[in-house]
Amino acid sequence: MKPQLAAKLEEIRKVRNLDPKSWVDKKCELLNNYMTKNGLKACVVNVSGGIDSALTILLCKAVSEKPGSPIKKVKGIIQPIHSTESIMKRAIDFVKAKNLDHVIIDQSEVFNLLSSTVEKAYGYEAPPFAKGQLKSYMRTPVAFFSAQLLSAAGTPAIVVGTGNYDEDGYLFYFCKPGDGTNDIQLIHDLHKSEVGEVAKYIGVTKEIIEAPPSADLWPGQTDEGELGFGYDFIELYTEMVEKKDELEKWVKTLDAENKAQWDEVSSKIEKIHTRNKHKESWPINLDIMCPNGVR
């Protein structure tokens, strides 16, 4: 990131002034209240080996340890599907280091059977991107089935999502029936950099904090590599785009080199936001007649 852009981002962060302890305390209170109000006793979290899911499950655990918390069980699910060995090892090492209740459900053979069955029906092989999406889709029913199993055992459960604001809130960088499907989100109000700050505070392992973000949907995939820009740019852009007057004045102060980078990355971010905006509210209902004549 060029100097003038970095300076603006630093200014924004000072104004936003995230206090990890205060944020965690308030978030714990919110989740406890939600669980109590709805008669819920368990949380299910897909643990990927990444920082978002690690923070999310530790938040759930922290809430469960509060005096009087209704949460009796926090269950982590690790679901390798031809996954990168080092990433899966990182996930397993994490849940063991933090003494988290977890199960490992390897869906690799199920994936082979399902993908080949569908490909055979269509008569051609799916490209890597489509196969990557299928991996994300397949983890959803396991998470919700797990919640049903816990509920049947006397601990009514929900699936807790793991999306941060930069990905899920603005870029809509998720799979609708995959990681985008959950009951509640805990870190949706945090930028990716803030996820890192809170993760350090709450005790996420250094190995996970320092790992490059990756959905691991195909070999060598990284989030920033797929997006074409770093998370710092998304944070800067999302904080500025809603302040149109301030944005216009600030852009005029940029030198040619800084403005060129701002224009280039802003265009990329907005293209992804526009392309994925259909995920903001779904399904899209093309209604003609509605109950009571409501349009």
Closest by CA to 171, choosing from 64, 60, 272, 282, is: 272
| Chain centroid, CA 35 distance in Å | 21
- 100/157 Cα distance (integer angstroms): 16
* Long-range contacts of 273-282, Cβ-Cβ distance < 8 Å, separation of 24 or more: 273/170, 273/171, 273/172, 276/171, 276/172, 276/173, 277/172, 278/172, 279/172, 279/174, 279/176, 279/180, 280/172, 282/176
Q: What is the pLDDT of residue 44?
A: 99
Which DSSP string do the residues of 137-192 spell out, in sequence order?
Answer: HHHHHHHHHHHHHHHHTT--EEEEE---IIIIIII--S-TTTTT--SEESSTTS-H
pLDDT at 139: 97
Contact partners, residue 205, CB within 8 Å, separation at least 6: 54, 93, 94, 97, 98
User: Could you give the C-alpha distances from 125 to 36, 68, 118, 129, 130, in angstroms and in order?
Assistant: 48, 53, 9, 12, 10
pLDDT of amino acid 136: 95
Cα–Cα dist 190/192, whole Å = 6
**Cβ atoms < 10 Å from Cβ of 57:** 29
State CA 292 to chain mean position distance.
38
Residue 216: what pLDDT? 76
User: Which of 3.20.20.100, 3.40.50.300, 3.10.20.90, 3.40.50.620 is the CATH number of 19-228?
Assistant: 3.40.50.620
Compute the C-alpha angle 113/116/119, nearest 5°. 145
150 in Cβ contact with 157 (< 8 Å) = yes
Distance between CA atoms of residues 220 and 36, nearest Å: 42
What share of residues in the chain are helix, strand, coil (percent, to 5)? 60, 5, 35
**In which region does residue 138 sit, left (phi positive, over 0), alpha (psi from -120 to 50) or beta (all else)?**
alpha
Q: How many CA atoms lie within 13 A of 291 on its CB side?
A: 0
How many CA atoms lie within 13 Å of 199's alpha carbon, on the beta-carbon side?
Answer: 27
- Confirm if 45 and 77 have CB atoms less than 8 A apart: yes
- Per the CB < 8 A criterion, the answer to whether 290 and 185 are in contact is no
Phi/psi at 232 (nearest 5 deg)?
-60, -35
pLDDT digits (tens), the chain, 295 positions: 999 999 999 999 999 999 999 999 999 999 999 999 999 999 999 999 999 999 999 999 999 999 999 999 999 999 999 999 999 999 999 999 999 999 999 999 999 999 999 999 999 999 999 999 999 999 999 999 999 999 999 999 999 999 999 999 999 999 999 999 999 999 999 999 999 999 999 999 999 999 988 877 767 778 888 888 999 999 999 999 989 899 999 999 999 999 999 999 999 999 999 999 999 988 888 888 877 755 5
Residues 195/51, Cβ–Cβ less than 8 Å: yes
What is the pTM (predicted TM-score) of this model?
A: 0.94
